[in-house]
Amino acid sequence: MVRNVGRADCVVRIVVGLGLGVLIYLGVLSDVAAIVAGVIAAYLLLSGIFGRCLVYKVADIDTSIQEQPYSTTDDRAGF
């Protein structure tokens, strides 16, 4: 599978995953909420580390594509 998660998206996923992990560790969440948050945190951490997201693949989203600068008439004329 090809990378489809950009650098900024990876950082956000890792930070949110770690934040959820801290909430679980501190016992802020109840039993069921802790399990759901644990699954979400694990998915966010793994997709952030590897740069691949199954949800993005299904939705045909790719945040790893870099924008190309626009060319101006000066660029095309060789000036």
Q: What is the pLDDT along the chain (79 residues), one digit of tens a residue?
A: 788 898 999 999 999 999 999 999 999 998 999 999 999 999 999 999 999 999 989 998 888 876 555 655 555 555 5
Q: Is the pTM of this model over 0.85?
A: no
Whether 73 is covered by a domain: the verdict is no
pLDDT at 40: 97
pLDDT at 3: 86
Q: Structural domain tally of the chain? A: 1
The residue type of 19 is G
Whether 39 is covered by a domain: the verdict is yes
CA 21/CA 69 separation, integer angstroms = 39
Whether 2 is covered by a domain: the verdict is no
pLDDT at 64: 83
Whether 78 is covered by a domain: the verdict is no
pLDDT at 20: 96
